[in-house]
Amino acid sequence: MTCSRFFRSGCAFAALLFLLSLQSALCDKSPQVVVTPQKTSGIYAIGEKVVWNVKVLNDPSGSVTNATYKVLRGGATSLADSSVSIVNGEATIESSLDTPGTLLLMVWVDLGDKNILRALGGAVIAPDKIAVSSPAPEDFDSFWKAKIAELNAVPANPSLEKGDSGSPNVDYWKVTLDNVRGTHVYGQLARPTSGEKFPALLIVQWAGIYPLQKSWVVGMAAKGWLVLNISAHDLPIDQPVDFYNQKSSGELRDYTAIGNEDRETSYFLRMFLGDYRAADYLASRPDWDDKTLVVTGTSQGGLQSFVTAGLYPKVSAMVVNLPAGCDQTGSLVGRKPGWPNWEEHTRDRDAEKVMHTAPYFDAVNFAARVKCPAFVALGLIDQTARPEGILAATNQLKGPKEVMIVPLGEHKENPAIFKPVYARMDEWKNALLRGESVPPAAK
């Protein structure tokens, strides 16, 4: 299989996206601030001047004459804290960086009466040179080898409950697998009704506590996949919404911090081993084609995808968007880690123990074990799955990779802004489904 090894941007869409922003602002008639990098790719060389264009829209009186701003390296280290004049609704802000990294511009416009508008701008400098903030623990591999052995000592005991897919050409089941220490993996499985062997797709989920939607697997099965979608939690997948709300506000509130002082008790241990079990279950099925096993997810699902591709050798490709969990020791080099930011959960516990545990569950350390082809998309103004940490992780990948940088990308996944990402992810999945090489990315 061949695919691009270069970092690329959604810059072909940047002008269109800016026009969409203008159109949206003009339609709702309320004042807005729009920030775009003057270099539409958002990608710069070391020492190159970074310029952002700031536009204030829907201010016919011209009352906005000033904006305050901050420029942060890696979302944490302040490089500038100043103000700029707004002339005819426009301004430019400049910065630069003499090392590889990312810049986050935060702009505020005060409209009075406690009405303050905020906008973000991003840029990345030498993305292929961004390094991890600390090495993996020396016993990282031996720890996970031991945990996989613990998992393998527990029979999967798959239990399948046939359900109605809603499609005459798709079979559907609810699935339960046994996991470590008396826990379970809950999910949903679908495949085409006709046929004997299929490429497999494992879908892992973003953060939160919620039911799984049947459409997430039925649509992919209709295309020809043997697809398994699992919950990140030891919870049934189709209970009433109140059930999940009670879990979220009760015993699983702040679940990412549960047991975080010890690698043996971290909430992520069961989650990650559940991902491994799910992949292994797919590979054990007689209707798998023995060749294609793709793992995919967004945010927390991106973190889980890195883990699964790094631990399970039969994963043949990874396709992720806005992966969380990258570079949790980023503060050591002056950048802010992304979600779940283990450092934020040290206030009422032993900080040293928490930060000793974090690297065993950090996506960057699993990335260094990923040898299969990988597609990774990220947003330069994402304050949840922060771009500098993601790039530190992608630079550890050992196989062919394509990294798509979205200059205006936030974590809320604006459908218009992420349209090229969705399209490219579909190109990857469709090619993998057919057993073909991924076509070159459009420039």
Distance from chain centroid for Cα 125: 20
pLDDT for 350-359, tens place per residue? 999 999 999 9
Contact between 36 and 431 (Cβ < 8 Å): no
Sheet containing 101-110: give its strands across: 43-44, 116-125, 101-110, 66-73, 77-85
pLDDT for 407-431, tens place per residue? 999 998 688 899 999 999 999 999 9
Distance in angstroms (rounded) separating the CA atoms of residues 271 and 304:
8
Q: Average pLDDT over the chain, rounded to whole? A: 93
DSSP β-bridge partners for residue 376: 320, 403
In terms of phi and psi (left: phi > 0; alpha: psi -120 to 50; beta: otherwise), the region of 433 is alpha
Place of tokens 């399970």: 312
Distance in angstroms (rounded) separating the CA atoms of residues 271 and 43:
35
Query: Closest by alpha carbon to 74, among 38, 123, 37, 34?
Result: 123
Distance in angstroms (rounded) separating the CA atoms of residues 364 and 310:
10
In terms of phi and psi (left: phi > 0; alpha: psi -120 to 50; beta: otherwise), the region of 187 is beta
Distance in angstroms (rounded) separating the CA atoms of residues 360 and 139:
9
Angle at 372 between CA 409 and CA 414, to 5 degrees: 15
Query: Closest by alpha carbon to 70, among 53, 82, 61?
Result: 82
Give the pTM.
0.95
Phi, psi of 12 (to 5 degrees): -60, -20
Helices (H), 58-198: 140-152
Distance in angstroms (rounded) separating the CA atoms of residues 285 and 172:
15
Half-sphere exposure of 202 (CA within 13 A, CB side): 35
b/e per residue 259-295 (b: at least 16 CB within 10 A): ebbebeebbbbbbbbbbbbbbbbbbeeeebeeebbbb
Cis peptide before 340 (omega within 30 of 0): yes
pLDDT, one tens digit for every residue, the chain (443 residues)? 334 344 565 545 445 454 444 454 445 567 889 999 999 999 999 999 999 999 999 886 778 889 999 999 999 999 999 999 999 999 999 999 999 999 999 999 988 777 889 999 999 999 999 999 999 999 999 999 999 999 999 999 999 999 999 999 999 999 999 999 999 999 999 999 999 999 999 999 999 999 999 999 999 999 999 999 999 999 999 999 999 999 999 999 999 999 999 999 999 999 999 999 999 999 999 999 999 999 999 999 999 999 999 999 999 999 999 999 999 999 999 999 999 999 998 878 999 999 999 999 999 999 999 999 999 999 999 999 999 999 999 999 999 999 999 999 999 868 889 999 999 999 999 999 999 988 888 76
DSSP β-bridge partners for residue 71: 80, 105
The DSSP code for 393 is H
Helices (H), 241-381: 241-249, 267-284, 300-311, 351-357, 363-367
pLDDT for 8-44, tens place per residue? 655 454 454 544 444 544 455 678 899 999 999 999 9
User: Domains of the chain, with CATH numbers?
Assistant: 31-127 (2.60.40.1930), 140-434 (3.40.50.1820)
First to last CA, the chain: 20
**Long-range contact pairs involving 87-91 (C-beta distance under 8 Å, separation at least 24):** 88/62, 89/55, 89/56, 89/57, 89/59, 89/62, 89/64, 90/53, 90/54, 90/55, 90/56, 91/53, 91/54, 91/67
In terms of phi and psi (left: phi > 0; alpha: psi -120 to 50; beta: otherwise), the region of 401 is beta
